[in-house]
Structure formats: C-alpha cells, structure tokens
Amino acid sequence: MRAQRQNLAFVIAATGLGAEARIAARLANVVTVAGGGEGDRLERLIGEAIGHGGRAIVSFGIAAGLMPGKIAGTCLIGNEVVHRGVRYAADAAWTSRLKAAIGEAELATIAGVDRPLRNPAEKQALQAATGAIAADMESHIVARLATRHRLPFAILRVIADRAETEVPPAALAGMGKDGRVDVKAVFASLAREPSQIPAIMRVAVDTSRAFAELFRCHRRLGPGFSFFDLG
C-alpha cells in the first residue's frame, strides 16, 4: 500500500498492476493497492485501506475491450459495473466530475470478471450478456466493498487488449501475484512456444498505448481523483 497523506482523508485507488498503482500514486490524497489479479488479495488490501480512513474508492487501470471497433487507448469512465448479474451504479456526481476533467472519455458499463478473458469468443459472449464496453478484474470488487461500507466509488479504465485480440499465454503468465510483471515467466512461456512472439508484440504495443492514455488522464485530475468531499 502506497500513500500520499497530506491530509488525513484519502481516496483508495484499486488496481491490478503495480504500474497502474504507480501512476495513481502521483495524485495527492491517494492510497494505492494492487491486487495482482487475485480477488481475495485485493479485497483484503482495500478493506485495510478503508480501516485506515479511506473515504472513497476508484477502480483505475487498463481493461479488456468487449465492443468490436474500440481501439487500444480508448478511455472509459464507468457509470456502472455488472458482475454475475448484479449491477452497481457508480457515484453519479463523482463520475460527472471525472468526465468534465478528462473530457475525451466515454461513459460506459464495465463488466467485472474473475479471470482474464483470453480470446474474442469469450469477450463477445460477455458483451452480449452484459452490454458492457470493457471488462476488468477489479471494478466489481471495488463496487461490492464500496456498497458494503457505504462509500462512493468511481471507475476510470483504458482499453488495452481489443475485443478482436487473442491474449497469448505469455501475457497471462506475466501477471505476478504482487501486481508486478513477472518477466521470467513471460520469457519462459515464449521459450516453450515461440509462435506467441508476434501476438505478444502486438499486446505490448496496445498496452503501451493504454498506459500512455492512463497517464494523460491522471494529469487532468485533482487530489483524490477529483473526489468532491475530502474535507
């Protein structure tokens, strides 16, 4: 957990990757937690941060595209998240403030998933079932805990892998449990199956575009992700 605590009150930024958390931590009044793709770990870290005074929660990072035609780097502000048939509405006022600050962003439904989506068929099926534009592994956990603790939540996500993209095993192998990229695991997977190399290169390019957009978005936000009630 990393924090900038100029004031006692802070916003919790929940991410999957350490790189996402490092961007979020540049904002004042933010505590970052990275789940590394493990829902139980993320839930525990968010709970600890709430116990230390977290006033609101934002789900921040990259996402898998579900809607064909949405390119890597598309910025999305989630107005709701759906997971296993349950829909959670993001805080409307905070969502509006994010949209006003960022400008070039699309309001969208985000689907929560418990494991990475590997191929276009899985993404198409989830889009058809939920109407979501993108999916990630953190937003539904944020929504559930925020609802439980009666805290506002928001979602700021950028599409990395497009709906048409098949994610190679090497990319999935690289997600470490602490949110850091496991470079050794990536190279080990590529060594076993070198045919993945073109696909992993495409994923790397798209992910780079997504992170550039995440960085652009965060620079337009005020303390606590422009949360309006940090008093």
Using one digit for the tens of pLDDT, what is the confidence trace for 27-47? Answer: 999 999 999 889 999 999 999
Tokens representing 80 are: 């709701």
Q: Domains in the chain, please, with CATH?
A: 2-226 (3.40.50.1580)
Among positive and negative, which fits the CA dihedral 2, 60, 41, 181? negative
Q: Which of 165, 174, 170, 168 is nearest to 206 (CA)?
A: 165
pLDDT value of position 196? 80
Q: Which of 175, 193, 195 is nearest to 184 (CA)?
A: 175
Using one digit for the tens of pLDDT, what is the confidence trace for 65-76? Answer: 999 999 999 999
Residues of the chain with pLDDT under 70: 1-8, 173-180, 182, 228-231
pLDDT value of position 6? 42
pLDDT value of position 121? 96
Distances 210 to 60, 160, 199, 205, 206 between C-alpha atoms, Å: 12, 5, 17, 9, 6
Whether 65 and 163 have beta carbons less than 8 Å apart is answered as yes
pLDDT value of position 185? 74
pLDDT value of position 10? 94
